[in-house]
């Protein structure tokens, strides 16, 4: 986990986003134990309270589950994991479209650019 955080977004959310991406990419599997709060705080270079807040928020969202005396684990609920993947996809698409609009691209130009990209990718 990087220690370079954006100032525009709370650190605990940035860490949650990073962990969520790891889960969606399969770097962390369903049922896998997350690092302890202390270990994650050291690795991230943040206060343990920040990690506790991250884990609490992820638990509220159903992404992780805390088992008393055992730790925090990635949920095994496939529906939650599927929804997480769709949510991350939507966030990425939203950012892409916003950036393209700021550069002055129309919807048609964006679609054409994507089509060209995928044609090149298939070659």
Higher pLDDT, 5 or 59: 59
**For residue 78, which of 24, 8, 1 has the smallest C-alpha distance?**
24
Q: Which class is domain 11-76?
A: mainly alpha
Q: What separation, in Å, do the N-terminal and C-terminal C-alpha atoms of the chain show?
A: 35
Whole-number pLDDT of residue 15: 97
Q: pLDDT, tens digit, for every residue of 25-70?
A: 999 999 999 999 999 999 999 999 999 999 999 999 999 999 999 9
Whole-number pLDDT of residue 2: 54
**% of the chain beyond a pLDDT of 70:** 98
**Taking a C-beta distance cutoff of 8 angstroms, is the pair 63, 21 a contact?**
no
**Taking a C-beta distance cutoff of 8 angstroms, is the pair 38, 48 a contact?**
yes
Q: CA 77, CA 64: separation in Å to the nearest integer?
A: 10
Is the pLDDT score of 19 beyond 90? yes
């Amino acid at each position: 986990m990087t220690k370079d955080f954006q100032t525009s977004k709370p650190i605990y959310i940035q860490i949650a986003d990073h962990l969520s991406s790891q889960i969606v990419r399969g770097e962390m599997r369903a049922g896998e134990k997350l690092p302890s709060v202390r270990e994650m705080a050291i690795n991230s270079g943040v206060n343990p309270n920040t990690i506790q807040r991250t884990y609490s928020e992820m638990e509220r969202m159903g992404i992780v589950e805390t088992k008393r005396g055992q730790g925090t684990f990635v949920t095994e609920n496939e529906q939650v994991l599927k929804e997480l993947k769709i949510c991350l996809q939507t966030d990425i698409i939203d950012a892409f479209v916003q950036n393209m609009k700021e550069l002055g691209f129309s919807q048609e130009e964006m679609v054409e650019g994507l089509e060209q990209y995928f044609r090149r990718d298939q070659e």
